[in-house]
Structure formats: C-alpha cells, structure tokens
Amino acid sequence: MKDSLSISILIIVVYILTSLVVPITFIGDAIFLANAVLWATVIGATIFISKLRSSTMWQKDKTVLQLAAIIAVFQIFIAVFAGFFMGFGKNTNVWTPSTLTVYLPYLIMPFFAMELSRAYVTQATASRKPTVALLFIGLFYTLILTPIPTYMHLTAPLVIAEFLIKTFIPTLAISILATYFAYLGGFPASIIYMAVPAFFTWFSPILPNPSWQLQSMITVTAATVGFLVLDQTVKPLPTKHIHRTLKKQKSQLPYWTAIALIGLIAVWSSTGLLGFTPTIIASGSMQPSLNPGDITIIISVPPATIKIGDIIQYQTADAPTIHRAIDKYEAGGSLWFITQGDANNAPDNPVNERNVMGKAVLTIPQLGWVSIYVKTAFTEIISFLINNITTAFATLSILLVASVFGVHRYRNQPLRKLRRRIGR
C-alpha cells in the first residue's frame, strides 16, 4: 500500500509540473522533451518498485489479453461505423522523421507511465475491495489525464456540463475499463486495450469525424459494453465448459481483426485514399445507365485520359455529381468537359479539369439502398439521443457503475458462502 501511495504521489507531482511549471519554464520543443523526461521518471520508479516487490502486474493471462484486443478493436469498429454516416476527416497529425523524434516520446512516455502505474496500483490495492478500487483508481487516472488549466476554465455551469459530457464521463468510462483489465490481466492487458485505439488515432491518415455529442456516446457505450463482456467472460465457469469457452474465445480475435481491416479499407476507400471511391447514386439523372441506390466505383485518373462517353464524377458548388462527358475542349490553358445526365434534356455548365474527381469503372446495382436505409435509421436514432443527451448519459453511467458493483458481487462470492456457513 505504501508503494502504491508513493507512486500515486509521484504521478501527482509530475502532473502538476507538466501542467503548470514546464509550460512557463521551457519554450518550443523543449516543452515536449521536458514532459517526456518527467513521465519517464514515473516509468522507471514503477518498474523498479514492481521488480523489488515481485508484483504480479507482469503476469500474462492469454484469455484476458485476447479480450483486451477484441474490445479495443470493437471500440474502433463502432467509431468507424459511425463515421460512415457522420463523415471522416484527415488526421491532423502529419508524421515526418523530425516530428516523430520530437512528439512521439511526448505521446508515448505519459501513455506508458499511466498504464504501468495503473497496473501496479491496481494489483497492489484491489485484491480486498475491487469495487471501490476500480472506481477510485479509474477516477484518479481520469483526473490526471485532464490538464490543470482545463479545470481552471470551468467557471460557468454550461461549460462544466459540456466538459462532463464531452470529456470527463467518456474518459472515466475508458479509465474504469482499463483499470479492470489491469486488475484481471496486469500491465499487458491494460496496455493492449489502451494502445490499439491510441495508435489508430495517432497514425491513421483518416479518422471518423462525428459530432462531440455522438463521439461521447460512442465512447461510453463501447466501454460499457466492453466492461459487461469482460465481466461475463471471466466469471467462474463449470469445469466441463472451460475448454470449450476458451476455444471459442481464441477463435474470435482473427474475426475481429479481419473486421477491423475491412473497416479500415472501407474508410480509406470512401475518402479516395486508395485511389478509388464507392459512390451511392442518389438521383435518377443518369437513368437507365445508373439508378438510385446503385453503387458506382470511381477511380482517380488523369483528366486527359477521359474520353467522350465516359461517366465522370466532378465537384460542384453544391455536391459531387456523376454525369456523362459528352464533349471536351481546351481553353485558357485548361481542359474543360461538357457533361449531361442521360435522363436530362440539357447539358451542365462546363467542368474544369481541376474539379474532376475521377471516372466510373464499375456499378453494383441497388446495393446502396442498404446504406441509405441504415443511414436514415442511424441518423434518426442519433438525433433522438442528442436531443435527449442528459437522459442517455445518465442511463449509460448508471449501467457502467452497476457493472462495476457486479464485480464485487462475483469476486466475493466464495467469501459470502463461507460467512453463511459460519453463521449456521
């Protein structure tokens, strides 16, 4: 307990230094270097104490590790799924050798310091009262993850409410689940669960771009579902079912990994990152060649290679349009296209080559209706939840806390049975 308290105090000191002292003491890249060095002291102290005390935080439980990876991938999958309906954006992180040298230690050092110390503190303090430990350790790391200046700006009720819904509650949900992984599987489990989404956020060139209300609900929902799945999976099972259950769990990771890869390819292709873009036909202007609900694959090609008669996609002031090129000419040093929908009576305004996004090479009939129906239903559900965001968050928070108290019930089941026998 004393070692856990010492590590917690060290974390608080580093937290204060990195939030208040370093920003006014150093300038430029030195700030990132100083932060990395300070958090490295937490890593070193935790490793030294854990080795000295022979902590169980380094032990591996293969089943828990697999669940950590599955739930982390599931969390990404839910965000990507929402991105298909709410849009994607380019990652603001642009990594070059020089930026990696400066910023990667700044990102990784506090990340590893948090998870190493979380694992040690949890393993050292949660054996007797896991419910209280999970809640308080999760809360502690939630508070530490928010810089002190952020708290100093929470002066108005509306600002506080937005902070709680946008930042604090989602971070708390993730922190409690990470603490539960640390309790069951030590440092390897918690680092896997936290690292997969973090590295996706840091290095994926395309990221989901939902509203902050939706992002908060996705995070809390995914963490709550993950907690329930983990809690149900690690309950004591009858001996004859253990082998079959573990075998079933082992087979899930490849499937979830495949789903994540397919989703990643779908995201990148939908933004044109892979050189082609699937587009759903929404109007009948190209009938009978293209019908509403068809999916057309657009590939990026040099405008000069587009021939008269090709179906092209180009950007207008309103939205991308897919029409047939019926003529082309050069003027002012640029190539221009005359386009017209097959079902339209008049051609469109001339299209400059700079606005051409590509040409259609493949059409999948009617498959787009699935996306249209799902998107409509998803949008209506999200609109309802956002309009009732307080109720939604209250429900999710109650479910998460109830799940944490469920841990105490099952972890102390043998002790309760013993007490009942003694009472008799």
How many CB atoms within 10 Å of residue 212?
A: 12
Q: Which domains does the chain have, with CATH numbers?
A: 2-272+388-420 (no CATH), 281-365 (2.10.109.10)
Choice between 255 and 202, residue whose per-residue pLDDT is larger: 202
Q: Where are the beta strands (DSSP E) in 161-275?
A: 206-208
**What's the residue count for the chain?**
424
- 202, burial (CB in 10 Å: exposed 0-12, middle 13-18, buried 19+): middle
Q: What is the DSSP string of 26-45?
A: --THHHHHHHHHHHHHHHHH
pLDDT at 226: 84
Q: Which of 71-75, 267-271, 274-278, 417-421 has the lowest mean pLDDT?
A: 417-421
Q: pLDDT value at position 265?
A: 56
| 277-323 confidence digits (pLDDT tens) | 778 888 888 888 888 888 888 888 888 899 999 999 998 877 788 99
Give the burial class of 47: count Cβ atoms within 10 A of its Cβ; 0-12 exposed, 13-18 middle, 19 or more buried. middle
pLDDT at position 388 is: 64
- In the block, residue with structure tokens 């296209």: 337
> pTM of the full predicted structure?
0.63
Interacting residues of 342 by C-beta distance below 8 A, sequence separation 6+: 285, 286, 287, 288, 289, 290, 324
What is the predicted pLDDT for the residue at 416?
Answer: 45
Of 185, 230, 234, nearest to 58 by C-alpha is 185
Residue 215: the pLDDT is 80
Q: What is d(CA 206, CA 273) in angstroms, rounded to the nearest whole number? A: 8
CA distances from 177 to 224, 260, 404, 424 (A): 8, 21, 9, 38
For residue 363, count other CB atoms closer than 10 A to its CB. 16
Summarised one tens digit per residue, pLDDT across range 324-374 is: 999 999 888 889 999 999 999 889 889 999 989 889 888 888 776 666 666
Could you report the per-residue pLDDT of 206-263, keeping only the tens digit for each? 888 877 777 887 888 888 888 878 877 775 433 344 344 444 444 455 655 565 555 5
Do 233 and 249 form a contact (C-beta atoms < 8 A)?
yes
